[in-house]
Amino acid sequence: MGKENREVKNSVLVDLFCDDETAEKNDIELFNALHEEPLPEGTKIERIRVDNVLYMDFQNDVSFGVEGKVLVMGEHQSTINHNMPLRSLMYIGRAYEKIVPTRDRYKRGLVKLPKPEFYTFYNGISKMEAERTLYLSDAYKIKEGDPMLELKVRVININSAANHEILEKCQVLKEYSLFIDTIRKYQALGTEDAYEHAIKECIEKGILAEYLERKGREVRNMLVAEYDYNLDIEVQREEAMEDGIQIGKERGIRIGEERGEKRGRTEGNALKVINQALKKIRKGYTVEETADMLEEEATTIQRIYDVAKKYAPDYDAEKICAELL
């Protein structure tokens, strides 16, 4: 199919619900899981293609139209992204540009639009309740009166431990969640090429088996792209640096202004590296790959990896940092 060479790479979730030959069946199953009234037999899905809003080379958003509605879905695999309402707003604007012909936008009569619904599927390792709702208005600098523009996103935790009812209603989403669990299991064990092992195990257990048998190599490439696109790396570095500096400052203050300033800088830099390395461990990178990306000595990263193994799979950052420092 040539997908591996496309300029824009998809996440596995996007492939399952957008590009794969089973996508229409999967979309109908997901829609029915999210709504009380099931779709009539023979319902057709309208595929809505939207240029990437945030990422130049990676897509983990998908949308489709059905029965007068347009569903916009995203995925988040680390901590909760509180900017999902903003991201969804930008996405639906692009979607309506695709849906509404240019000439219709200038008609006097009311242009009918499909009703939008926004969902984010969370399968990160940080603890989260089964479901929460994020609001665009929470980001407004001025909070007074009723906002004239509001957008809400249902964030659904699809980790099996969260026990959200959607996993019992949508088999493909349940199996996708189990697939991600399997990947993380091998990553926590430090298994070389965790993706290959996870794919093999899931095929044997009947988890996304037909899909993985057809597209195993392509799925592996999508997973690599999913965890390695440049913007994600840059954001992680910035966040880790901010976290490290802040913790360093707080510890420094407690032991005195003069000594605290010096120690804060030292510990802040160390904590920055530790936090960065932990993110790479969770994503299955080897010691050598992590050392190369973070531009650190392999011996330094190896020490972090060795201590982190004691706290797998949760990787309690505070305990790991305390032991290393």
Q: pLDDT by residue (tens digit) across 303-318? A: 888 888 887 776 777 7
Neighbours of 248 (CB within 10 A): 22
Looking at the structure, tell me whether residues 27 and 146 fall in a common domain.
Answer: yes
Q: Which domain holds residue 81?
A: 3-170+222-227
**What percentage of the chain exceeds 70 in pLDDT?**
79
Query: End of a domain among 183, 211, 227?
Result: 227
Tokens of 136: 């665009």
Looking at the structure, tell me whether residues 92 and 13 fall in a common domain.
Answer: yes
User: Model's pTM, two decimal places?
Assistant: 0.68
Looking at the structure, tell me whether residues 136 and 245 fall in a common domain.
Answer: no
Tokens of 140: 């407004």
Query: End of a domain among 227, 243, 271?
Result: 227
Q: How far apart are CA 84 and CA 72, in angstroms?
A: 11
The answer to whether 119 touches 73, Cβ cutoff 8 Å, is yes
Tokens of 189: 């064990």
Q: How far apart are CA 150 and CA 129, in angstroms?
A: 23
Looking at the structure, tell me whether residues 302 and 162 fall in a common domain.
Answer: no
- Give every strand in the sheet of 69-76, ordered side by side: 46-47, 61-66, 69-76, 115-122, 152-157, 131-135
Q: How far apart are CA 178 and CA 176, in angstroms?
A: 5
The torsion angle over the Cα atoms of residues 221, 223, 224 and 228, rounded to 10 degrees, is: 140
Predicted confidence at residue 9, as pLDDT, reads 65
Looking at the structure, tell me whether residues 113 and 253 fall in a common domain.
Answer: no
Query: How many domains, the chain?
Result: 2
Is 198 within a domain? no
Looking at the structure, tell me whether residues 106 and 7 fall in a common domain.
Answer: yes
DSSP-based three-state secondary structure for 186:
helix
Looking at the structure, tell me whether residues 109 and 236 fall in a common domain.
Answer: no
Pairing of strands 58-59, 9-10: parallel
Is 291 within a domain? yes
For the chain, the average pLDDT equals 83
Is 192 within a domain? no
Q: pLDDT by residue (tens digit) across 218-260? A: 999 888 877 665 445 455 555 655 666 666 666 655 555 555 5
Q: Calculate the CA 301 to chain-centre distance.
A: 25
Q: Mark 62-91 as b/e (b = at least 16 C-beta within 10 Å).
A: bbbbbeeebbbbbbbbbebbeebbbbbbeb
